[in-house]
Structure 1
Amino acid sequence: MKRKTEKEKMSEGHLCLLGLIALSSLLTGTSGVDDAHVFISSGGNVRLPCNNTHKHYRPTTWPYNTLNNSAAVELIRLGIKKKDTQRHERLSLGSDCSLNINNISTEDYGSYMCRQYVNHKQQGTDARVYLHVLHVSQTEISAGLSVTLSCQLYSYPRVSCDDSVSSERIELFWVNQAGVKLTRSDSRYQISSSSGHCIISLNTTLLNEDHNREWRCEVTQRDRVKTSVTYTVKSSGEKTSSLISVRPL
């Protein structure tokens, strides 16, 4: 019996590996995929993955839904952008069937689904992506230099923050520029939150040494930072202004 060479063995190993990869792709397309959660700060750009992508599944449709909509709205229909949507100019379809959205606003949060077709028949199951949008707003800075910052996570389905029972373990909190979490025990800050709506507010009186000081609102999922928004104080003489920016991760 002829013994196989090392090259032949390696070739068979590669074929076996390719076979397993192909089988995995087929199983994913038929049995469904896990829902994805994507976090982004308002004003940023985001890519929503199509986790049931298969090279033979073309074209792609992306329906979208929020709590305010009774029915899903198609943003992409069979690979073509719908022109009658308000976000038409901010959308694009990636080569891997992902959905790209630029200049994210709080109105973009919601449930997105990737559907793929062959000969106008849906193939596989929907790949669902939940988009969560983090946004910070502020009150006008008062004469006494008091400011209130409100940080909210817009989510669908609505998640509960600071809920240890939730499997997603989503938490909102404020940190200083050193990355230290601000707590209610610090007399300088008044921290209040509404876990049911994922809102956390920070109130403080600005001091002279607060010029260029940063406070950052972060959202974590299972103790990992997903996105954040930074608030920076700018002072010049008697004038005080602010800058809210997205922190890249």
Structure 2
Amino acid sequence: MMRVLLLTSLLLTGVRCRMDVFVYSTVGGDALLPCMVSSDCTAISWTFFNKGRDVRFTHEVISGKVKADSEKSSRMTVTSNCSIGLRDLRVPDAGSYVCLRNGEAVTDVYLSLLTITSFSTITDLQPGGNLVLSCIFFTYYDAGSCKSYSKRVFKLSWVDEDGTELSSPNHSRYNLTSHTRCNVTLFTKLQKEDKYRKWRCRVNTTESSRAVFLDFKPVFLLQNTPDDDNLNPSVTAACPVKLPISRIALCVALPVMVFIVGFFTWRSDRKRAQTSADVFKLQEMN
């Protein structure tokens, strides 16, 4: 709020400045990339730059309108205040977005995305199975490496529902492997009480201890364990499937009707064939 008020005062006094804005979201989520201007959007354009493995520089918005040939055109909109909204975020969307007014840069927006990937098979998602979760933070500069920028340092951590880091001595059942500060894999063996548990991957920055987080909640292959069955046997008791009387009668009548129709069709075809043979013999005798 203080930033917005300061920016508003600067705009009202005619002072021009270029501002850095850091936006955090998750893969599959939405993001609003602000352009700190209040002028006519026809003078606004947006560019995109990513310095990852594949260096890319593109124009996304020109004269206040999304370019039709942009890869993000179907997911991008320009708001009334010249900001852009992105939905259904994908890993390649992470990068640096620059808002320009009449060709002059006004706002640099750095979009970073968090994602969780499970390497466990469906048969592993049950008590005794192995749960393997990889959390990666794709930054605007270099995906997964989290190089610092403007004194901002990123760090990933896996935490439980209470916010306690799983690397603490109280959580000895978990093993964590940190490939980089922004690429951390969690290993654990599932227990029965994990049925409704959530594991949270959280991004910590120098400016915020919770810049963004993402939860993973496993769906067990077998929803009811043997202990659950003993507690509530009526829920899992086997019950024979009962069909309505009309449906049973229909199932019995249909084969009978097919047999009758087939039988009379066969007799009719046989009589027709016999008649044709008799007529053919008479013609030969004549």
- Please name the residue that 1:151 is paired with: 135
TM-superposition CA deviations, 1:84-134 (whole Å, max 9, x none): 1222111000111111001111111011010112xxxx3x43421110000
Unaligned segments of structure 2, at least 5 residues = 1-7, 226-286
Q: Aligned partners of 2:86 and 2:117: how far apart in 1?
A: 22
C-alpha displacement at 1:161, in angstroms? 4.9
Q: Structure 1 length as normaliser, TM-score? A: 0.75
Aligned length: 208
Q: Structure 2 length as normaliser, TM-score? A: 0.66
The residue identity in structure 2 corresponding to 1:140 is S
C-alpha displacement at 1:224, in angstroms? 2.7
**Structure possessing the higher relative contact order (Cα contacts under 8 Å, 6 or more residues apart):** 1
Q: Aligned partners of 1:82 and 1:131: how far apart in 2?
A: 20
Pairing 1:172–2:152 present: no
CA contact 2:131–2:190 (8 Å) conserved in 1: yes
SS of structure 2 residue aligned to 1:237? coil
C-alpha displacement at 1:213, in angstroms? 0.5
- Please name the residue that 2:108 is paired with: 128
- Select the residue among 63, 66, 69 that pairs with 2:47: 63
Pairing 1:116–2:127 present: no
Pairing 1:96–2:81 present: yes
CA contact 2:200–2:216 (8 Å) conserved in 1: yes
What fraction of aligned residue pairs are identical, expressed as a percent? Answer: 25
- Please name the residue that 2:180 is paired with: 195
Unaligned segments of structure 1, at least 5 residues = 1-19, 239-249
The residue identity in structure 2 corresponding to 1:221 is T
CA distance 1:205–1:155, shift in 2 (3 Å): same
SS of structure 2 residue aligned to 1:43? coil
Pairing 1:21–2:6 present: no
Q: Which has the larger radius of gyration?
A: 2
CA contact 1:110–1:132 (8 Å) conserved in 2: yes
C-alpha displacement at 1:26, in angstroms? 2.3
- Please name the residue that 2:252 is paired with: none
More strand by share: 1
Q: Aligned partners of 1:228 and 1:203: how far apart in 2?
A: 19
CA distance 1:161–1:23, shift in 2 (3 Å): closer
Q: Aligned partners of 2:224 and 2:43: how far apart in 1?
A: 59
C-alpha displacement at 1:226, in angstroms? 1.4
C-alpha displacement at 1:66, in angstroms? 1.1
The residue identity in structure 1 corresponding to 2:70 is T
TM-superposition CA deviations, 1:188-211 (whole Å, max 9, x none): 001111236x10110101011111
